[in-house]
Amino acid sequence: MGEEKNNQKGKWFKGLKAEFKKIIWPGKKDLAKQTTAVLVSAIVIGIIIAIIDMGIQYGIQFLMQ
């Protein structure tokens, strides 16, 4: 039973290694572009959420008065 488990683990790791070889890793230029796009998107979405939050906060304060 123990030998069968080791064999299964070995097959799994061989399969994993084969899958990693299929990955096309981005170059430095592509990586920089994608990182910039993610950061800019995160900042823009953060600003939009902050504006909506301030609008809701103002609306609630207006209704409470």
The rounded distance, in Å, linking the Cα atoms of 57 and 62 is: 9
The pLDDT score that the predictor gives to residue 2 is 57
At residue 25, the 3 state secondary structure works out as coil
Residue 1: HSE in the Cβ half-sphere, 13 Å Cα cutoff:
0
> What is the chain's Cα-based Rg?
25
The rounded distance, in Å, linking the Cα atoms of 15 and 24 is: 17
Chain-centroid distance, C-alpha 25: 16
- Global pTM exceeds 0.85: no
Evaluate if residue 3 carries a pLDDT over 80. Answer: no
The pLDDT score that the predictor gives to residue 8 is 86
Evaluate if residue 55 carries a pLDDT over 70. Answer: yes
